[in-house]
Amino acid sequence: MRSAQQGFLLFGCKLTRRDLDAILRTAAAGASNDARISVSTTQGISKVEATTLDELFNEIDNPARIANLDINVHDQGSQPGTYVGVSLDPLKAWVYASGPDETWVLGRSEQLKALLQGTRLKLTFNAEYGSSTVAGFVAGVLELAILIPGLIIGFTWPVWVALFVAGIGLTFFTWRWLYRRNTTEIVLSGTFRKTWSRGDKINLAVLIVSIAALFFGVLQPWLSAHH
């Protein structure tokens, strides 16, 4: 038996209830009456499963947010042997489709991909370590920006240390900011704004220290030159 398969990952999706409804409609489009449709999420160590989103969210008391969601459509009827799966968690959105008809599999995958891509923010990366890669690039640029002028002008050790701390701090801040943009969020009501976590507060403190160190690193040579 011949079977076509197509899967892909996306990062940085910010999904609302309307988006989830559209994804489920697309995943189940054309399914026969005998198709097995399931939607599920987890609460703590418990898995909650239903056949519709309304049933699922009523079962978990209609929270404002959920951390993950799985959508599965198995159909042995009008599209023999087809399967569509969509899995959403904080790290990624994963879509998989399979069936005997290659055109159907590719078409359904592209439809779901278009829906998910429409929920992504700008400056997100379709790679698991995209934020780390960009942060590493920022680190390299910052350290070169410190090294080259320092070698030419002849920075003192306090200035070297201050600028090095600023470079490391700004790199960490960039990584954290990009990482948050690259996570998947599912908001059923309200907005995507979240309360500040401990990590967010630490990141803000790092930014403040970095700016202070950068200010000292730039100002100290200027003050020395004018005295």
Instruction: Note the pLDDT tens digit of each residue in 46-101.
Output: 999 999 999 999 999 999 999 999 999 999 876 568 999 999 999 899 999 999 99
pLDDT above 70 for 120:
yes
pTM across the whole model:
0.74
Residue 123 lies in a domain: no
For residue 73, give every residue at least 6 positions away whose Cβ sits within 8 Å of its Cβ, in sequence order, or none. 27, 28, 31, 35, 36, 37, 82, 83, 84, 85
Counting the structural domains of the chain, the total is 2
14-48: pLDDT as tens digits: 999 999 999 999 999 988 888 999 999 998 899 99
- The answer, yes or no, to whether residue 135 has pLDDT greater than 60, is no
Amino acid sitting at position 197: S
Helix (H, G, I), strand (E, B) or coil at 2: coil
* Same-domain pairing of 88 and 30: yes
| CB-based contact 166:214 (threshold 8 Å) | yes
Q: What does the DSSP 8-state code read for residue 197?
A: P
Assigned token pair, 96: 């998989």
Nearest 5 degrees, angle CA 148-CA 153-CA 159?
85
pLDDT of residue 177: 74
Residue 185 lies in a domain: yes
Checking if the pLDDT of 224 tops 90, the result is: no
Q: Is residue 205 part of a domain?
A: yes
User: Looking at 93, 117, 141, which one is the last position of a domain?
Assistant: 117
Name the amino acid, one letter, at 39: V
Q: Are both 160 and 99 inside the same structural domain?
A: no
- Residues 77, 155, single domain; the answer is no
pLDDT 10s digits, 191-223: 666 566 666 677 667 667 767 766 666 666 555
Average pLDDT over residues 107-127: 86
Do both 93 and 68 map to the same domain?
Answer: yes
| Environment class of 225 (CB within 10 Å of its CB; exposed 0-12, middle 13-18, buried 19+) | exposed
Selection from 115, 82, 68, 71 nearest residue 6 by Cα: 82
- 100 shares a domain with 178: no
Range of the domain at 35: 4-117
- The secondary structure of residue 154, as a DSSP letter, is I
Q: What is the pLDDT of residue 84?
A: 97
In a domain, 56, yes or no: yes
Q: Residue 178 — very low, low, confident or very high, per pLDDT cuts 50/70/90? A: confident
